[in-house]
Structures are given as structure tokens and as C-alpha cells.
Chains A and B, each alone.
Chain A
Amino acid sequence: MSTPLLAIEDLNVTFETRKGPVRATRDVTWSMGREKIAIVGESGSGKSMSARAVLGLIQPPGRVEARRLEFDGIDLRGLRPRDWLSIRGRRISMVMQDPRYSLNPVMTVGQQIAEAYVIHHGANRAEARRRALDMLAAVHIRDPERVYGTYPHEISGGMGQRVMIAMMLIPEPELLIADEPTSALDVTVQNQVLAIIDEMVTRRGMGLVFISHDLGLVSSFCDRVLIMYAGRVVEECAAADLHKATHPYTRGLLACQPRLGERAAELATLNRQAEWAR
């Protein structure tokens, strides 16, 4: 069997608090190849923490423990900061939710994209600028020359998210982690941004971890779905089979959303069971 792109076994992220340890993820196990995988759950379910642990972004007092945490055969546990340099941003990169907070406000967007290329490929500035312009065109920005010189506050949310995707893809990573990349966007813009991610993943053969709270969206966009509740993966299924999910939490999540075409006097509500979190 070939080495999986990402292999996680019994990942536990724990935070020490005054009230005792809080377990953000509990025995999370999954592995993936070059495919589109979704992690779905409500706030506090541990979906973002799992992704942050993969990138080594959990800061003390947070603690990461895992039986296995491997990217392309490289053990990520206890990697030294200098070892991370060749992985984080270069081979695994991450798109965050809101471009307004994740882009540098005092640098033009073009410089930020070019910087990512210079850092990871050691190119000169002219070459980096050319690549950044190509990348802006690749994420379907109409006038790359003009947008290159704008600051983040001068562009819309949808454009900001495309800029961020361009910045994350310019080092040509093998794995892209996207944490709610379209939640801050309007539905019509959301489609455009997803199409760009889809195109990049397919064309470059990247792996994608797509973190979302939107079951309808991931079932139409990803290949496989992991559903998290209270730090645990409670169910895993093919995206196309999400409607056949069996865990009561997944079923509850599917049932409590209002849907066009289905009139209901009252929405179903989740009856949380203590045993789901056990």
C-alpha cells in the first residue's frame, strides 16, 4: 500500500484550564490521499483544532498527543521549528475563514503573494512578481496588474478570499487545509471560490481538508465527510451518501435545517445525548 498523504491516529489536543483539562479532540483518527475530505461539526466540535494540530499550530498550554501524525511519511510529532519551515506553507498550507483578518493590512496583496513565493522558492523579486500575477489570473481575478497594487481593505470579501487562495497555492503545496473558506462570503461568490479551489485541487492533484459547518455544501463539494461532535469523529461516510448517515447526531443536524421545497410547521431540534460525547 502506498503511503497516505496524511495519516492521523488517536489525535488528542488538550488544554489545561483552571477547571481541569479540556479535551478539544479525542482519539481522532483518519487518513487521506489526494482527495477532497470534509470535516463537519458545530462550534466547539474540534474540527479546527484537528487541522491546527496537523500544522503544528497548537500553542502551549495546549498539548498535542497522537499515536500517529504523519504527512507523506514524515512524522510531524515533535518536529523542530526549522523542520517545519520546509513543510508549513510549503507542502501544507491553510486558507482561513475571513480575509479581513488574515491578510496583512499594510502590505499590498500582490506583495503578500509574491512574498510567499520568494520565501518558499528563493526566487528573485521580478520572477516572484510575475508568478504572483499569473496566480492572480489563475484564481480568476480580471485585472491582476491593478489588483496586485491594492491593499486588503480596498477589495471585496470574495476577492480577498481569492487572494488568500492564490497566496496559499503559489508555493504549490500538496495538501491544502481550508477552514470555513467561504462562510464569510455571499452564496453566489461562494460558488466561484469553491470552483477555483476545485480546479486547483483537480489540476494539481492536491489533497484538500475542507472544514465547514454546512452539511449541504460539503456533500455537494467533497468526496468524503467526517462528522465531529464533542472532539470525536462520530461518523465517516462518502459525501454522496450523507443523506444515508446513521449516527443520530448527523441525522439530527440534517433534520434541523429548513429546506426549500419542504414545508414544516416546526423545525426538528437536536436532542443531545450524553453518550455521543463519551
Chain B
Amino acid sequence: MISVDRLTVRFGSMLAVREASFEVARGESFGLVGESGSGKSTILRAMTGLVPTDGGRMTVDGEVLGKTRGRRFHRVVQMVFQDPYGSLHPRHTIDRILSEPVAIHDLDQPERRVLAALDDVGLGPSFRFRYPHQLSGGQRQRVAIARAIIAEPQILLLDEPTSALDVSIQAEVLNLLARLRRDRGLTYILVSHNLAVVAHMCERLAVMNRGQIVEQLTSDDLHRRQAATDYTRLLMRASEGYDPTLATV
């Protein structure tokens, strides 16, 4: 469904992504894990055409991606961003936010679709004419997910979708994302710094460090703590809590 082959992204003299390659099958959920600056979000931004690439080849659903992305691409691929406060227009009602993709893609029955999308993300019709500032962080992220799925895409790119949320709200949003994927056969790429979140949500993942994919493994490997590289093992131990023996690294 998705193939990224030796993708390279450069910001000035800085190599943000260096020859990253991975493939994601239809219906699969693939994770990109790493620390800040590792290039994981840049890969998503390169796929959606938000940053220019400096080499490599990306294909989505059999089509090679060029410099720009058209309506057809966005019909297939949608994205959910990290910050639910920054990614919704503050002066648009939820109704208008959700109606926009419907209009862009010339879909029929906008009203029915808006109500169905709200229902899909567990918000219900009473939220339709509210503004983002009247919603909690978790509710806003549900709106962002509703906006992403309303045009019935096949692929969702999720960039740290729950890292701005409290853990109890994170659990609700992750359960929602898992259910949507199951019900609709969606393909996910999930970017996160949280290994446990990725192990829970994805079948396979790539670990990134300083712009490079250092290792690809299955989440079963991760659960069994079978990592091939020192870096992945370091990340696993550091995410378990405070460990003074790691402080000298």
C-alpha cells in the first residue's frame, strides 16, 4: 500500500532523513519511533508533500508521488496532527471544520456525513455547532480524527496523536483509532516517541535515530524485548522509568 525507498530530506546543511526505506501493507499499522529530531515526523511531512524531498521514491497505492499532491492523493491519505489546539481553526464551528473536506471532495449528503463522522468518533450531534475552544483536548482530537475520516480515506498518517493528552484520554483515543482501523480496514502509519503506545497500536515498527532507520522489528519482538540494536534497547530501558545506570549515556 505504501512504499518508501531511500527517502532523503535535507534542511539546509542538516540531513533530517537519510535513505529511509520501509513498506506498509494494506490494512497494516506501522509505527515510527524515535526521539525528537530523529526524523520520524519529517517522513510523514515528506509523504504529504509538506516538505520537499532530496532523493528517494515514495509510492502510495501503486502511484509514485511527485512534487505536489492533488485531490486524489488526499482522498486516499489523511493526517492527524499532535496538537489538537493548533490543528483546528479557532473561528470555525465543528460543523464547518468537518464540512470542508466534504466540499473539497465533492461528496454528496454533507449533513449526513458530518453527523455520521461525529457519531463515529463518539461525540454525538450536540457537538456540531460548537467551537474548538469549547471542547477539551481529547474532544478536539476526536474532531481532528473525524475530519480525517470523513472523506473515507484508506490511509491515516498519525503524528503523535495522543502525546498532548492525559493518559486516561489517550486510552480512549487509542481505542477509537484501533476500532476505526478494524471497522474500515484502514492502513496506519503512527509516529510516536512512546514505545509502549506503538507496540500496542502497530504490528511492525521502525526505530529512528538521527535521521536514519536503525532497526525494523515487530511489536511482538518489542513485547518480548528482542531488539537487535543497542539504541532500541536503550530506548526500551529508558521508557520503563527512572534508571540511574542509564544516566551516563
Contacts and interface: CB of A to CB of B under 8 A. Distances in A.
A42 B35 contact: no
B178 interface: yes
A186 B35 contact: yes
B242 A221 contact: yes
Nearest to B234: A188
Nearest to A42: B166
A258 B200 contact: yes
Interface stretch (B75-83, B151-159, B190-198): B190-198
Interface string A40-57: 001100000000000000
B247 A256 contact: no
Nearest to A188: B238
B243 A269 contact: no
B225 A261 contact: yes
Nearest to B197: A258
B171 A256 contact: yes
Interface in B37-91: none
A100 interface: no
Contacts of B166: 42-43, 213
Interface in A160-202: 186-192, 194-196, 198
Contacts of A111: none
A32 interface: no
B200 A219 contact: no
B200 A187 contact: no
Contacts of A42: 166-169
Interface centre among A186, A191, A196, A198 (most CB of B within 10 A): A191
B108 interface: no
Given A188-B234, A190-B238, A269 B196 contact: no
B15 interface: no
Given A191-B243, A267-B200, A253 B167 contact: yes
A270 B238 contact: no
Contacts of A267: 171, 174-175, 200
A189 B247 CA distance: 8
Contacts, number: 102
B167 A256 contact: yes
Given A188-B35, A213-B167, A269-B168, A195 B247 contact: yes
A273 interface: no
B241 A219 contact: yes
Interface centre among A256, A260, A268 (most CB of B within 10 A): A260
Contacts of B234: 188
Contact of A258 (B168, B199, B224): B199
A187 to B, nearest CB: 4
Contacts of A187: 35, 193, 235, 238-239
A275 interface: no
B240 A260 contact: yes
27 contacts: A42-B167, A157-B36, A187-B35, A188-B238, A191-B246, A191-B247, A194-B247, A213-B166, A215-B167, A219-B241, A221-B241, A256-B167, A256-B171, A257-B171, A257-B196, A258-B194, A258-B201, A259-B196, A260-B195, A260-B222, A260-B225, A260-B236, A260-B240, A261-B223, A264-B200, A266-B178, A270-B171
Given A188-B246, A258-B200, A268-B171, 7 more contacts: A43-B137, A188-B235, A196-B247, A252-B168, A257-B170, A260-B240, A263-B223
